[in-house]
Structures are given as structure tokens and as C-alpha cells.
Amino acid sequence: MKKLIVATKNQGKVNEFRDMFSKYGIETYSLNDLDTPMPDVEETGTTFEENAQLKAETIADFLQVPVLADDSGLEVDALNKRPGVFSARFAGEEKDDQRNLEKVLDELNGIENREARFVCALALAIPGKETIFERGTCEGRIATKSFGESGFGYDPIFIPKGYEETFAQLPSEEKNQMSHRSRAIQQMETSIQDILT
């Protein structure tokens, strides 16, 4: 089986990458699976693409193999697209999913416009070549409270367009058919297959 390293420590993302790439005959390895300590990457970018590039290129330079990275987050229209690139650390540096989603619910308290979207930027860094970028989005709205147990991050408060349940209430296969991440991966598939053959 072909192998691909994804430069992430987020196990929620890893589970989704693993499911989606297995359909393409690709085995996924994350930073959590590697024995050698990897360089720490500070997410200093102002866009999802910049942060994905930093993560992918740092690890690809270090390992000298192709590396994929994902920088993603939630944009809430009534909050001027916040939390955006700060989604993981919205309520503090400790990256607490529960506190992050409570902060979004608090800030939206009493606000009618609950439109939001998930964004996923993927960067594929290939040593000696230009990095390749793809982006996927998923439109939806923020629920009035938390519903459901599956998924990760803001899934319990995000209702995708055309649905009445949150991502955390839907089976993971259903989320993976329409999510920002799956859309970005579909766009990236040919580039990944090219470098892995």
C-alpha cells in the first residue's frame, strides 16, 4: 500500500484522513505515529494556506519526503469570520474544544445571523518542488447549543446546509462525504497519486 505522511497532531483530523485515503489505497501516517521527534511548527500565518504551508514544508524539509498538511477552522459571519485561523486556540493556548465551542455560542448569544462555514486548506510539500495548495469549504450554521458526540472540534455546534443535525450527530461517513476536508482532498487526489507512484 502507498504511504502518505500528514503533518498533524490532531487525532480527529487523522481519523478522517485515514478513512478517506484508504479508499484511494493510501495508508496515512501522522506526526503521532513517528518515533523521531519532529520540529515544532509555530502557526504564525494570517491565512489557512500560510499555516498549512508552514506545517507541510517544515516536516517535508526535515524528512525529505512529500508531506501533506491541513490548516482548517470555522468562519462565523456575525463574528467577522472569527475564530478563523485561531479556531484551535480561540479560548486559549491549551486548545480546549469544549471551551472553544462555548465561546462561539456565548458570542452568538442573541444574534440572529448564525451563518458559518468550515474551511480546510491543504498544502502538499514535495522536496525540491513548488508546494501545491487546495481548499475545501462547507457552508452551514451555528446551532443554539451543543448536540451529538461524534467528530471533534466544533462539530457539535455546526449544522451543514440542507440538514437539521450537527456534524456530531451525523455518521462519520456522512460528514466525510460533504465536509470541507473531503472536498479539499478530492481536489488534491490527482497530485497525491502522482507523487506516490
Active-site residues: which are they?
Answer: 71
The entry of ligand CZF, Mg ion, none that residue 145 binds, CB within 5 to 8 Å by partner kind: none
Report in angstroms how near the CB of residue 143 gets to ligand CZF at its nearest: 12
Hey, which residues between 66 and 105 contact Mg ion (CB under 5 A)? 88
Please identify, using beta-carbon distances, which residue of 26 and 182 lies nearer to ligand CZF: 182
* Residue 29, CA atoms < 13 Å, CB-side half-sphere: 12
Which residue's beta carbon is nearest to the bound Mg ion?
A: 88
The entry of ligand CZF, Mg ion, none that residue 179 binds, CB within 5 to 8 Å by partner kind: ligand CZF
The entry of Mg ion, ligand CZF, none that residue 2 binds, CB within 5 to 8 Å by partner kind: none
Enumerate residues 6+ apart whose C-beta is below 8 A from 107: 76, 79
The entry of Mg ion, ligand CZF, none that residue 147 binds, CB within 5 to 8 Å by partner kind: none
Helix axes 11-22, 180-196, angle to 10 degrees: 60
Q: Can you point out the beta strands (E) in the chain?
A: 2-6, 26-30, 67-76, 82-83, 115-125, 132-142, 158-160
Binding site for Mg(2+): what residues are annotated? Answer: 42, 71
Note the residues at the interface with ligand CZF (CB under 6 A): 8-10, 13, 43, 70-73, 87-88, 97, 100, 118, 151-155, 158, 179, 181
Asked, as a colleague might, if the bond just before 83 is cis with ω within 30 of 0, I would say: yes
CA distance 174 to 163: 11
Please identify, using beta-carbon distances, which residue of 23 and 25 lies nearer to ligand CZF: 23
CA distance 56 to 188: 14
Backbone φ and ψ for 37, nearest 5 degrees, come out as -65, 135
Please identify, using beta-carbon distances, which residue of 90 and 143 lies nearer to Mg ion: 90
**Which residues form the interface with Mg ion (CB under 5 A)?**
88
